Structure 1
Amino acid sequence: MGSANHALAEFRRTKRLSQLDLSLKAEVSARHISFIETGRAQPSRDILLKLAEVMGLSHRECNRLMTECGYAPVYFDRPLDEAAMQPVRQALNVMLDNQDPYPAVVLNSLWDLHMANRSLNRLMSLLLPPDRLQGRINMLELIFDHRGLRPYMTNWDDVAALLLRRLTLQLQTRPNPELGELLETLLSMDPPADWHAPEPQGWEGPMLTSELEINGQHLSVFSTLSSFGTALDVGLQELMIESYFPSDEATRRFFHTLATEAE
């Protein structure tokens, strides 16, 4: 007999699946799934991979499911600065460089800044004191911080509320203690009072528009997030590339001028 598989039960409930639902999707008896969860049966590696697939588990979640049942992790989890990840870093640098003169960043699943292009660095140096750019930089905390980007965002309430709702949804679909701590940190930073309630006529699509006031000039940018959907590495799958684009001609000219002045 094995030990009770708390991970399988946790993931199943997070996906809002009953044991019967999961059994039908995976073509495994509900009785066998019950036995796996209670430790009365030791599942095979193939069964676990099938369950992970039908539940849509991330690479990190799949590794946890495997190790809890006594199997080796399926996916590598290598730091981005490791030698084996050099081709990945090169590819990311190409993507960041191609976005210039508009900003772009590489973030992990906790919204920590890993890489940034020259445009983002130029903008940050223009807006923030040098000490605020030292050490770990979390983009969500930077947006919420009164010493960060918050004072420059004229639609901060809308942006902050949307980010909190997205983060809450992310936690509901993929529970993560560190992500939960980030949410608690943001909620302690004077969030919008009604952040949990979207505007009745609002549309929350994949793009986020931010309005900024910099040196008396109004700027409007929208951002998109992309990821490596077919990555075979835990950390690589969790990386996000956030790219910013000008929403109007004045903003486009601002970034081109900023790049020219830096040459």
Structure 2
Amino acid sequence: MEQRSTPMGSAGHLLATLRRARRFSQLELSLQAEVSARHISFIETGRTQPSREMVLRLADVMGLAHRDCNRLMNACGYAPVYTDLPLEEAAMAPVRHALKMMLDKQDPYPAAVLHNTWDLHLANQSLQRLLSALLPAPSLQGRVNMLEIIFDPHGLRPYMTNWEAIAALLLRRLALQLQTQPKPELTSLMERLLAMDPPANWQTPEPNTWEGPMLTSELLINGQALSVFSTLSSFGTALDAGVQELMIESYFPADDATRLFFETLAAQAD
């Protein structure tokens, strides 16, 4: 039986919280970190002060995000391992350049840089043209969340002919994300989406449904049927906490009619 953790805010409590969020028992974590379960218990109850190397080993075994690793290091009295610089900083110029290049190269097809809370950070010209043509201007002011736009009855939802399937899949992915990233922003996002008339029984995938890395959306815009698949990528080798939290979503035409639609939309804007 696991021993009780020390009071809220302590290093031991944080380690226990991160461990449980990633569904590790004390025994599983100890085996993978090659230490005794008693040692893990002593860290969590505040009876042992872990070394810097031990904290890093536990973070690696649990697959902690950079930000969570920094939090754990700070709680244990050590300096953060990863930087956390605003994207506007001069030192982040190479990252900004890389993001802009990826978005520009995706034209005439849409692409966006999202935070891991699904807030829109950057959009290329193609995505800006599409959203401006379909959505009311006020909905594009201030913070724009891509999942909320998809669920909003005044957003992209009316244009998506397979909205039920897409929305259910996105909710399941968000629920899975929350298991490993139990952050307030994601919890609040889930609550907002569930208040927007979600699909019934979204927790249960349809039989024989393949939930692969690509998401295919079927759209009907001005009477024209379009098919778009999207992929998500990230900076897997990022050494900055903020950069690791960025996602690049790229959209591609799944048929010739959709390809022609985006090419024509771009040509009309020139």
TM-score class, shorter-chain normalisation, is: over 0.9
AA in 2 matched with 1:49: L
| Preserved CA contact (<8 Å) 2:22 2:179 | no
Aligned pairs, number: 262
1: distance between equivalents of 2:160 and 2:239?
37
2: distance between equivalents of 1:132 and 1:102?
22
- 1:153-192 aligned at under 5 Å gives the runs 153-192=160-199
- 1:91-106 aligned at under 5 Å gives the runs 91-106=98-113
Matched, 1:67 2:74: yes
Equivalence for 1:134:
141
| Preserved CA contact (<8 Å) 1:144 1:186 | yes
TM score, norm. by length of structure 2: 0.94
TM score, norm. by length of structure 1: 0.96
- 1:175-254 aligned at under 5 Å gives the runs 175-254=182-261
Q: Which deviates the most, 215-224 or 173-182?
A: 173-182
TM-superposed CA distance for 1:54, in Å, is 1.1
2: distance between equivalents of 1:178 and 1:129?
25
Give ranges in structure 2 of 5+ residues lacking alignment. Answer: 1-5
| Preserved CA contact (<8 Å) 2:103 2:124 | yes
| Preserved CA contact (<8 Å) 1:4 1:40 | no
TM-superposed CA distance for 1:188, in Å, is 0.5
| Preserved CA contact (<8 Å) 2:230 2:251 | yes
Residues 4 and 59 (structure 1), Cα distance of their counterparts in 2 relative to 1, 3 Å cut: closer
| Preserved CA contact (<8 Å) 1:4 1:38 | no
* C-alpha RMSD of the superposition: 1.2
- Classify the secondary structure of the residue corresponding to 1:5: helix
- Classify the secondary structure of the residue corresponding to 1:146: coil
2: distance between equivalents of 1:17 and 1:258?
50
2: distance between equivalents of 1:178 and 1:161?
20
Equivalence for 1:107:
114
